[in-house]
């Protein structure tokens, strides 16, 4: 199963020690084939809205961006719990914040395999 994890926050100041820890973590996850893609994101970014055939592009709106780390990770995990466990390890490195974990559906995941349908 693939999951997309997006994160906001991170209370720890990104110093050399944290960067090293993060680097080692990312390397280990990449080698294990768990981490497929990852990267930092600009806070805010552009917003596009399609409404009634009309498309509007705006800057933001930005929330309190400040020094918040915004990033994403695409991971290949065997279960939802494994994804959570990986995210837990991530937060142990970067401190406080919040993340969203969403399964990325592939062609093999019919709607019946969607969230909520399996044994929870």
If we measure between CA atoms, which residue out of 13, 9, 21, 20 comes closest to residue 89?
21
Q: How many CA atoms lie within 13 A of 114 on its CB side?
A: 3
H-type helices in the chain, by residue range? 16-31, 80-94
Q: How far is the CB of 57 from another protein (least distance, A)?
A: 27
The binding site for another protein (CB under 8 A) comprises 31-33, 36-37, 74, 76, 78-82, 84-85, 92, 106-108, 113, 120
Closer residue to another protein (CB): 22 or 101: 101
Q: Which CB, 81 or 96, lies closer to another protein?
A: 81
Cβ nearer to another protein, comparing 36 with 68: 36
């Amino acid at each position: 199963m693939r999951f997309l994890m997006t994160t906001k926050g991170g209370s720890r100041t990104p110093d050399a020690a944290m960067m090293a820890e993060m680097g080692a973590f990312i390397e280990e996850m990449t080698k294990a084939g768990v981490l497929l893609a990852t990267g930092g994101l600009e806070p805010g970014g552009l917003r596009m809205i399609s409404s009634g055939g009309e498309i509007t592009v705006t800057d933001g709106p930005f929330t309190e961006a400040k020094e918040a780390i915004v990033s994403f990770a695409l991971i290949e995990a065997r279960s939802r719990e494994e994804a959570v466990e990986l995210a837990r390890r991530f937060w142990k490195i970067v401190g406080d914040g919040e993340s969203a974990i969403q399964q990325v559906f592939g062609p093999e995941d019919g709607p019946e395999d969607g969230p909520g349908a399996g044994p929870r």
